A and B are shown apart, each in its own frame.
Chain A
Amino acid sequence: MAHVLEALPAVPPRRRISPRRLWRTARHHPMASVALCIIVVFVLIAVMAPLIAPYDPAETNGRNRLQSPSWDHPFGTDSLGRDVLSREIFGARISLQVAVLAVAVAAGVGVPLGLISGYRGGWVDVVVMRLTDAVIAFPGLVLALTLVLVLGPSITNIMVALGVGAAPNYARLVRGQVLSLRNMEYITAARSIGAGDTRIMTRYLWPNTLPSVIVAGTLTMGTAILAEASLSFLGVGVRPPTPTWGGMLNEAFTQIYVAPFLSFFPGLAIFIITLSFNLLGDGVRDLLDPRLRTTQGL
């Protein structure tokens, strides 16, 4: 009997995410749950920006320049008299958009490369791995800066620049998993019933790498928000009239001696949302991929 059992193809067990498990995870990770709530709030703010912003973010007011926080302007006003709170609410749109799209580009480029590289091996693997080496060795911020300058400072281009820079991490992550999966018996079994390479990669390998890709994706969100803010802060992000948190900090830095309070709230928003994505990533990791808990640090 034992003999027969051993001969069965070993399919990695798929855990179902039941409401009970979700609730248990939420209770074990109060921080991740709070983080998720914060992210949801930020998303709502971004979606409903025109409804909740007290002022037009582009409306200048010469008589109201550089006001300290007050009841009328809770976060103060900038050097053109624009309401900082309203600008910050609209800024959430850019940050979240860029983060989601950058992660999508990174995973969209990196995951297929990692699948092919790990499954095929040989020269394909060598080429893909040297490519990822090159991108990883390239100083990330310089890569993003030059790419944005080449492509032009639009949201799409920023997300491409950040996505390309992050793609190698996904390629390596998926490749590593495929290497350990590809010799498992369920793959051999799939091949023996006539599944082609493409089918094996898309139907049998890719779903099993999904949990770690989701975990990595959540963590990259935070990094992408920071990176977008850095680009805008350095003045190569989305063009000035559009409010971005990084761009607001760039303007605030020029006024730091006159109105230091201007820099407080935009930075705080970047900090809170990045922190939330990091905390959520930790929680998601425990939910989807408990084996990774100790090995992957951040």
Chain B
Amino acid sequence: MTAYIIRRILQMPVVILMVTFALFVIMHLLPGDPIYAMIGESEASIDPEVIEELRGELGLDDPVLVQYLDWASDLLRGDLGRSFRDRSSVTDAITDRMPVTLQLGLLSLFVAICVGVPAGTIAAVKRNSPIDAFVTLFAMFGVAVPNFWFSMMLIWVFVVELRWLPASGFVALWSDPIEALRHMALPVAALGLTLSGSIMRYTRSSVLEVLNQDSVSTEKAKGMSQRTVIVRHALRNSLLPVATIIGLQLGSLLAGSIIIESMFALPGIGRLAIQSINGRDYPMLQGVVLLFTVTVLVVNLLTDISYAILDPRIRYS
């Protein structure tokens, strides 16, 4: 097991290297010079010499491989470089926006789990009942509904018609909890409820599988109440695969944050990603993608490890 974990950790830099290098090459194939995106003026009005100077300063004239190695060696020293747009530090930009994305992501995950796990369990226990049908329907809705459309429907109802909630802006949870929750309600509902669909589905099938096992029949035969059997035995054993699924949902959570943050004007990492793609801000995008990739890799590893620890039957080699 330890050997396995070490091997997985050693593989990570290789994958990170491939992702960042691929992105580097792709970005340098992008049509349009980042200089113009940076200056934001038409070609003709700027002295070509100034542009040449700028290019040299930013290292844009070096071969792609040299530029990449520059970036990678800076990275090893903990420096993610500076934005092409305003020369601000990429590290600062990311750490500034981190709390927004974390607040959105964690609250959404919380909602998704709080809705998904109990609903899935109830559906499994009351199999083939109307509740089961409703939960299954809701789960299908969550998986297939585009979260941006769901957001728009929420805005239509709660902002345009009822005028209960604000449609955009960010308030930190620690500065004004009530305003923060009011601002977060719609984005979190859009992201959390769509995410809860797959959690519901997996919980349901996982609980069903456990309920059919002999151990559960034995507990029931011993005279334990339905509730005890479900909560103490069935739920505990069935949450294992659910934990994995939650780990795997991270990808869709990140993708969701890109769209949702843009829609609700939340100044987070996802919106930063879109802004840097549109603004040809290579260093900024490179930093954001690095962060996303590392997060996905680490969470995947943690999921695999926790899976092995919780279920002794699983052995990695």
Contact = CB atoms under 8 A, between A and B. Distances in A.
B146 A229 contact: yes
Contacts of A256: 152, 155-156, 160
A29 to B, nearest CB: 13
A263 interface: yes
Contacts of B160: 256-257, 260
A229 B156 CA distance: 20
B53 to A, nearest CB: 27
Nearest to A278: B144
Nearest to A250: B148
A141 B18 contact: no
Interface string B255-266: 100110011000
B30 A150 contact: yes
A233 B15 contact: no
Contacts of B146: 226, 229-230, 233, 249, 267, 270-271, 274
Given A137-B293, A142-B277, A146-B277, A131 B152 contact: no
A62 interface: no
A150 B23 CA distance: 11
Interface size class of B (residues with CB under 8 A): 35 or more
A226 B150 CA distance: 13
Interface string A256-298: 1100100110111011001100110000000000000010011
B18 A294 contact: no
A234 interface: yes
A260 B156 contact: yes
A268 B150 CA distance: 10
A139 B292 contact: yes
A55 interface: no
A147 interface: yes
A253 interface: yes
| Interface SS, B side | helix
Contact of B23 (A146, A263, A264, A279): A146
A256 B30 CA distance: 33
B307 to A, nearest CB: 15
Interface in B27-43: 27, 29-31
Interface of B: 11, 14-16, 18-19, 22-23, 26-27, 29-31, 140-141, 143-146, 148-150, 152-153, 155-156, 160-161, 198, 201-202, 205, 209, 245, 251, 254-255, 258-259, 262-263, 273-274, 277, 285, 288-289, 292-293, 296-297
22 contacts: A130-B18, A133-B11, A134-B18, A134-B22, A139-B251, A141-B255, A141-B259, A142-B288, A146-B285, A230-B148, A233-B259, A234-B262, A249-B152, A253-B148, A260-B160, A264-B153, A271-B141, A271-B149, A275-B144, A278-B144, A297-B202, A297-B245
